Amino acid sequence: MSASYQPVLWNKFKKQYDAILWGVIILYLTIFIGITISKYPTQNINTTLIRAFGTLAILLLHVILIVGPLSRLSNTFLPILYNRRHLGVSMFIIALVHSLLSLLQFHGNGNVHPIISLFTSNLHYNSLVFFPFQTLGFFALIILAAMAFTSHDFWLHFLGPKFWKVMHMLVYVAYGLILLHVALGIIQFEKSPVLVALLITGFISVAGLHLWAAVKENKTDRKQSDTLDEGWNYVCTLADIEDDKAKMVNVNKERVAIFKYDGKLSAVHNVCKHQMGPLGEGKVIDGCITCPWHGYQYRPEDGCAPAPFTEKVATYQLQLRDNKIYVNTAALPEGTFIEPVIIADKIHQEKLTPFFIGWARNNKMVFNTTRLTAFVASIFILIIGVVLSNHQQRLSDFIIDYNNVKKMEGWLSVKPVPNLKIIDGKDGYGNPVFKTILLMDAFKFGADAVVKKVLDGDIVKYVRLTGYLSSNIIGCSDSSKDCIEICSQCIIGTTNNPVMEIENGQYSFEAIQAPVAANANITSLGLQTLRGEIIDPKCYFGAMNPGQGKPHLSCAVRCISGGIMPVLKYEVNNQNKYAVLVGLNSEKINNKVLNFIGLPVEITGELSAMDNWGILKVDPKNDLALLNKY
């Protein structure tokens, strides 16, 4: 308690609490990121950070939600409850980092503002399977932000305890949104059952503990004896109340706490004016009833907080008849003085019972219990971090090495899409073997404009190009390893379907003399019906992992709407094949396929071979359909 508002009312326990909390946070992030980088080195670092902060945020949220009912069931957990505001604000900061990284990765550097992209990239709001799960996370973050910014006694006083409490109860709405955010998002992509099992276990724990605490509260509410003459209710005997503690009873649907202290009895309304904590679960310390949640104090005889504080609670009259305690059913106005009932021949002896107050010097039993609780909770969170980081799905073998600029020579063209045809060795007869590299500009933009400027009206031009080339893991030099996990012995090779990000616009191109004539560009393979997924090749082949599926849907929409060619990924004899999608007249159809990106589709069209790439000519209006609309 403080007589004036301060940004943070620090005490020794709060400093220790925050030191332990942020120590666990830093250790969790270090473990998760370290294991992920070691085990999945091709995974995009942004993806690793998003997962690390996201999993930590939801773990902390579960701790926040279960500490309330746990504290009602056992005072062992009161130390965690005491500084829950700091835990909540810390959780919000972690969730905010997760959200900003996600917004930057999936919606940033595109052709529309990231917030607009968040709500418009995935428009399948009428589908459960394809629902835009990222918007659920956005609204959950708004609720958490409102709670974090009002987690101060100034706002508690300004808004009023009841309104403030109702607003902070929205955490359960945020929790529901986050569960849906995970269930409709990454869980649909991950193959390991670990994440599903942990999420279900977390929900059952939260729901079960709240139900258990509610049953206990309900038993307290039912403890109401028949009203005697003149409106007096029987409570209990003297022996039923511990010294400096209280007995709670329900009187006219209001909880009343009857305290026994210093050889006296007094009764007050059970609800603390600070955050509506249960005064009856507190203790009389220094002559004042002390709330178990945050240590707010009230005098038992009049329900007033000691000066200079102004909080007041209602008081109740008591009677003692043959060691039986009776309470009057009529509450007196808040702050009304009532002479305490004197207990005859009572000698008060203070017991060293475990009761926690954050601002006080607590007994050794409380200290040891607090330390043990913090240790067990920290170890549990870190173990989950190790489990989650080790059970991620291996996303992709493809990488784009942005640390090394590559130089490639070949025939530059913008038809049917920006590409560079290179000579990739010779066949058995000594003839050159050609390979086509798809070209993209920086960020989430196609290379059409840059390539057209370089061609300057030509259809094809032989050039030397500098940029960042995609590669993939093609094997392991250590014969004892099967390359299920990427290791230092893995060999990096050029993928059969390479893509290249232009390094510096048109300044990346240098016109030179062609060594030989290029081959015929496109060979028809006939009309075919293919099933697969529309991807953006830049992200899929290494700029981002994951580069496919629902988690990447919004980013793929931004890339393809920004001009990067849409590509159909499909299977033939359990082998992935890739075909660039164009219109019936080889025109761009990017904006016509946006609602089908990242989803299972069936496409019918004329398939052609452009060296190592397929070209699929389709009419998006008639030849393209979703395989699952629900």
Residues 600 and 555 in one domain: yes
Q: Of 183, 173, 176, nearest to 129 (Cα)? A: 183
| 334 in any annotated domain | yes
Q: How many Å apart are CA 168 and CA 143, to the nearest integer?
A: 9
What pairs with residue 528 in β-bridges? 605
Cα distances from 121 to residues 108, 332, 548, 553, 557, in angstroms, run 12, 60, 15, 8, 6
Q: Which of 318, 350, 382 is the last residue of a domain?
A: 350
Q: The domain that contains 258 carries what CATH number?
A: 2.102.10.10
Residues 56 and 188 in one domain: yes
| Confidence (pLDDT) at 313 | 92
168-172 long-range contacts (CB < 8 A, ≥24 apart) are 170/143, 170/146, 171/61, 171/64, 171/65, 171/143, 171/144, 171/147, 172/65
Residue ranges of the chain with pLDDT lower than 50? 1-3, 346-350, 352, 359, 475-486, 488-489, 491
Residues 285 and 372 in one domain: no
Residues 382 and 403 in one domain: no
Per residue in 382-438, pLDDT (tens digit) is 999 898 888 877 667 788 888 889 999 999 999 999 999 999 888 888 888 899 999
Residues 617 and 487 in one domain: yes
Q: How many Å apart are CA 522 and CA 315, to the nearest integer?
A: 90
Q: What are phi and psi of 104, to 5 degrees?
A: -65, -45
Strands 600-610 and 523-535, sheet pairing: antiparallel
Q: How many Å apart are CA 51 and CA 29, to the nearest integer?
A: 10
| Confidence (pLDDT) at 164 | 80
If DSSP codes are grouped into helix, strand and coil, which group holds residue 388?
A: helix
Please name the residue that has the structure tokens 């609670």.
313
Residues 537 and 465 in one domain: yes
Q: Domain limits at 120?
A: 12-209+365-390
| 216 in any annotated domain | no
Q: How many Å apart are CA 54 and CA 39, to the nearest integer?
A: 19
| Confidence (pLDDT) at 478 | 46
| 225 in any annotated domain | no
Residues 370 and 431 in one domain: no
Q: Per the structure block, which two tokens stand in for 242?
A: 């511990």
| Confidence (pLDDT) at 151 | 81
Contact 71, 81 (CB under 8 A): yes
Residues 496 and 598 in one domain: yes
Residues 488 and 534 in one domain: yes
Q: What are phi and psi of 464, to 5 degrees?
A: -105, 125
Residues 302-321 as b/e (b if ≥16 CB within 10 A, e otherwise) read: bbbbeeeeebbbbbbbbeee
Per residue in 4-50, pLDDT (tens digit) is 555 666 667 778 888 889 999 999 999 999 998 888 877 888 989 99
Q: Cβ atoms within 10 A of the Cβ of 238, count?
A: 14
Q: How many Å apart are CA 295 and CA 277, to the nearest integer?
A: 10
Question: For residue 125, what is the DSSP state?
Answer: T
Q: Which of 320, 350, 380 is the last residue of a domain?
A: 350
| 258 in any annotated domain | yes
| Confidence (pLDDT) at 395 | 64
Q: What are phi and psi of 227, to 5 degrees?
A: -70, 130
Residues 298 and 413 in one domain: no
Residues 571 and 430 in one domain: yes
Residues 27 and 163 in one domain: yes
| Confidence (pLDDT) at 294 | 77
| 355 in any annotated domain | no
Bond prior to 416 in cis (omega within 30° of 0): yes
| Confidence (pLDDT) at 219 | 73
| 609 in any annotated domain | yes
Domain count within the chain: 3
| 232 in any annotated domain | no
| 221 in any annotated domain | no
Strands 432-440 and 499-502, sheet pairing: parallel
| Confidence (pLDDT) at 216 | 81
